A and B are shown apart, each in its own frame.
Chain A
Amino acid sequence: MGALKSDFVPRSVILLPLLLSAGCNRLPESYPPPEQRKALTVPASPTLSYFVSMEDPNADAYLVRGFAARDAGTWRWALDHPVLRFLVPAAPRLRFEMDFSLPERAFRETGAVTLTFRINGEVLDRHRCETSGQQHYSHEVPEALIRANAVNLVSIDPDPVWVSKADGSHLGFILARAGFTE
């Protein structure tokens, strides 16, 4: 009875000759595709979604106003009243995140810069940047500010802005990526 309970003994009796005759293991040949799982939510160009990188060829679709014309780089100058738009799915406890930078040359003249974040016109946060260079911003967004499964407008007002002596343009910060995430 014990031998019947063990899956070791009977198989060992059967497989011992195989062990002795085989040099080493053979790899399995192949497998069929498995059952398909439910996909996670990931933005796919060219449709509007919840996050954008300035290197995305479809990035212009997210820029409502207040950005300099597209350049060859993977970033865009945000002017004095930049506004972005996102299609935000229903998801709990979203955060708004942004990778941006304040150039050293501009920062020398402006000093600390305060960014005022508004979502659909409501103030989300005022963020003071005390240093120049690359920065990461992340802030939890109250659910009341977001329209789920709809287009949401995000404005990021820099204060002060840097006024270019060359052409007089008002430049706020350099945007690399922005959007909603968990």
Chain B
Amino acid sequence: MEPLAILFGAGFTIVVCLALGALVLRDSCSDPGARFVTGAAVLSLIVFTLCALHLAYPAVFLVLGGACLCLLGRPPGLPRMRSALLLIFGAYFIFYFFHAMAPEASPDGAGYHLALAARYLRERGFVRITDNFYAAFPAGVEMLFLFAFAFGRHSAAALVHLAFLVALSWQMFAWARRAGFPQAGAAGALLVFASPAVGIDAASAYNDVALAAVAFTLFHLLEIWSETRAVRLLYAIGLLAGFAFSVKYTAWLAVPWAAGFLALKSRRNAALVAAIAAAAIAPWLVKNWIWFHNPVAPFFNRLFPNPYVLVSFEDTYRRVLALYHLKSRWQIPMEVTTRGSLSGLLGPVFLLSPLALVSLRTSAGRRLLLAALIFGANYFTNIGTRFLIAPLPFVALALALALSAVPRLAIAIALIHAVISWPALVPKYAIPQAWRLTKVPWREALRLKPEGPYIESRLPEYAIDRLIEAKTPPGSTIFTFTPIPEAYTTRHIRVEFQAAENKISGAVLWTALAPEYVPTWRLRFAFPRQPLRGVRVVQTNTGPDLWSVHELRIFDGARELPRDPEWRLTARPYPWTVQSAFDNSLVTFWLCGETATPGQFIEAQFHREETADSVLIETAPNQWSIRLRLEGLDATGRWIPLAAGPAASDAPRPLGLRRAVAEELKRRGNDYLLVFDTNLGSDDLRANADLWGIRLVGEDKGARLYQLP
């Protein structure tokens, strides 16, 4: 029954997309690929609306999808094509199909694309998720996954993604045939279809191939519109431009590109398209604005400060994605085409991509390369191979067009590409770890073999999902430093790097594990005894450290000023946790949120004058680059310098720290701690579970699950 459910889930989603696409485009475009992608944009918005209304029920999807099919009436005929190349496409398709239908075992698909879709389905709609920044990414394609998942679960979603590859490849050929160079179109389509990175991406619950299909459909419809000027095409163009953004932020240029293209002919049409695109984008921005206080979360957090994503994390994230493990960007061409160390490879033939520039001598070539530029413009923000898939169809067609100057050369190159990209041959030149397809898992696809061993052979942490499901009650929250395939657990997983509150929880844990995180550093500012209305500690240096304050105490002689409820506490640039520096707990702290830059401060204002002569900061020594000065608020309301710097000393490690940390993690809403052997402090947790007050409830493959006190 399961294979049938998978096929129904995927097939139903695909035909509903086709029906919706037909409703939008009607006679203006009968291309099934364009209709499918356009319909996908509509279905995505519909599912978004249902999620917003908490009506994400399979029965609702069934009724709604059925109604769409009734509106469509007679299904459109499939295009006919006769070519020997179809055999090659067919061979690859079979490979991809069985892989997509096999249990989903891709890192990101099982990690968050489907995990979020599954959670929305469990919750019957959107829920406020601020402890996972992936929930802030626009999820245009994931809305389709959710629709398919409701009937066929994980594999149905992956098959829907594969449908985008078919729609893309067909449209590449269809566009080229319409433009008068069918052979180049077929060659370009094959270059994309057989690409190892495209293949495994399309056969997984990812969104890169979907974005490429949306980008090319947008291009395709703009080309058709420039010939026919059909008004209905404008609706689809607007929807697709907005859909491109809602699939991936990196495609934001789709909107100005489409509007600009149309503006050259008609500003009114451009305005219409921009308005439709804005309407398609707005729900995602509004959702983020309300829940993340940042419409474009998890990015631009300096512009839209919020408590959910630390600027320091964003900076690190951007820096890592901009270069991964490479030493130089000059390594990128070999890595993305041949070696595959940047999460997959496009195929060595794409080293010929610079030849695509020859196509600039034709109008079609110029249009293709402009589109490639538009959808590749943000590539250097994330140099993973997958991020080249969106511009790839345009580059492939431009390359094929350029090679077409020599008869049959484009086809010959495409055939060579198809041969050397065959999964059995890829290991001859790619690194062993390259993300790629390996075999045709037809038994697993048809569920003749159990899915567990298959998934675990690709995602070892799948075993941890099983452990969590077995050992924790429903509704539990598990904190971990290491991501696990969340799509296979119904429990709430908090991964350390995925949100500010998780980063803080991680640092709280390290407070008892890493010597440099233990709050043993004492910084005392002494100044002449005087009445003050407030004190402010200002950071004056630039450095790589994150300033933190575990406790800030104000003294008059030996007497600490009691923290009056009338006091007003604030801090910049990250004010949200300032209370943690005034709660009398050494395991909690205010974290600055950004690496040290002059002007950051933490302050307390009293509701009346208080006499004081020193300020003590209790913190951890993991912030060597900070430099502090103390200011006081005098009776006239002016901030005056009190001390140029503190005297530093060390205090012993507090007793009971482990237990206090464990209790604090629990207080922060975590029920369990998942620790892998490779995580910092795993030995200490194992050896001193009694001191932590934690209980080992299960272990598997170097991971231990502890229940917090």
Contact = CB atoms under 8 A, between A and B. Distances in A.
A31 B570 contact: yes
Contacts of B55: 2
Contact of A2 (B54, B570, B658): B54
A42 B655 CA distance: 7
Given A6-B125, A32-B569, A42-B586, A25 B579 contact: no
A105 B287 CA distance: 70
B565 interface: yes
Contact of A42 (B54, B290, B652): B652
Interface residues of B, number: 58
A35 B569 CA distance: 13
B582 interface: yes
Contacts of A31: 568-570, 575, 578-579
Interface in B261-291: 285-287, 289-291
B660 A40 contact: yes
Contacts of B304: 24-25
A167 interface: no
A24 B303 contact: yes
Nearest to B577: A31
A16 B287 CA distance: 10
Given A3-B53, A33-B569, A19 B655 contact: no
Contacts of A8: 52, 125-126, 128, 287, 290-291
Interface in B45-64: 52-55
Contacts, number: 146
A41 B651 CA distance: 11
B653 interface: yes
Contact of A40 (B565, B587, B649): B587
A34 B584 CA distance: 9
B654 A40 contact: yes
A36 B286 contact: no
- What is the interface of chain A mostly: helix, strand, loop, or mixed? loop
Given A27-B572, A33-B582, A12 B290 contact: yes
A116 interface: no
A43 interface: yes
A34 B569 CA distance: 10
B583 A37 contact: yes
A56 B578 CA distance: 30
Contact of B586 (A40, A50, A89): A40
Nearest to A6: B54
B690 A92 contact: yes
Contacts of A145: none
Given A33-B563, A33-B582, A40 B569 contact: no
Contacts of A37: 583-585, 588
A5 interface: yes
Given A8-B126, A15-B289, A34 B653 contact: no
Contacts of B305: 24-25, 27
B297 to A, nearest CB: 11
Interface in A3-24: 3, 5-9, 11-12, 15-16, 19, 24
A180 B652 CA distance: 9
B564 A33 contact: yes
Nearest to B564: A33
Given A9-B52, A36-B583, A25 B294 contact: yes
A100 to B, nearest CB: 16
A120 B655 CA distance: 21
Nearest to A52: B652
Nearest to B293: A25
A166 interface: no
Interface residues of A, number: 47
A91 interface: yes
A179 interface: yes
B576 interface: yes
Contacts of A30: 568-570, 575, 605
Contact of B656 (A2, A29, A91): A91
Interface centre among A34, A89, A92 (most CB of B within 10 A): A34
A71 B573 CA distance: 44
B657 interface: yes
Contacts of B652: 42-43, 49-53, 177, 179, 181
B700 interface: no
A31 B582 CA distance: 10
A36 B563 contact: yes
Contacts of A182: 653, 655-658, 688, 691
Given A24-B303, A29-B570, A30-B569, A9 B53 contact: yes
A39 B553 CA distance: 13
A73 interface: no
Contacts of A143: none
Contact of B566 (A3, A24, A32, A177): A32
Contacts of B660: 40
A93 B690 contact: yes
A5 B124 CA distance: 10
Given A6-B126, A92-B691, A19 B583 contact: no
A15 to B, nearest CB: 6
A28 B287 CA distance: 21
Contacts of B293: 25
Given A53-B650, A92-B690, A32 B565 contact: yes
A103 to B, nearest CB: 23
Interface in A120-172: none
B249 interface: no
A104 interface: no
Interface of B: 52-55, 124-126, 128, 285-287, 289-291, 293-295, 303-306, 563-570, 572-573, 575-576, 578-580, 582-588, 605, 649-658, 660, 688, 690-691
5 contacts: A2-B125, A5-B54, A25-B294, A40-B587, A182-B653
Given A27-B573, A37-B583, 11 more contacts: A2-B55, A6-B53, A8-B125, A8-B128, A25-B305, A28-B576, A29-B570, A30-B570, A35-B583, A40-B655, A181-B653
Interface of A: 2-3, 5-9, 11-12, 15-16, 19, 24-25, 27-43, 49-53, 55-56, 89, 91-93, 177, 179-182
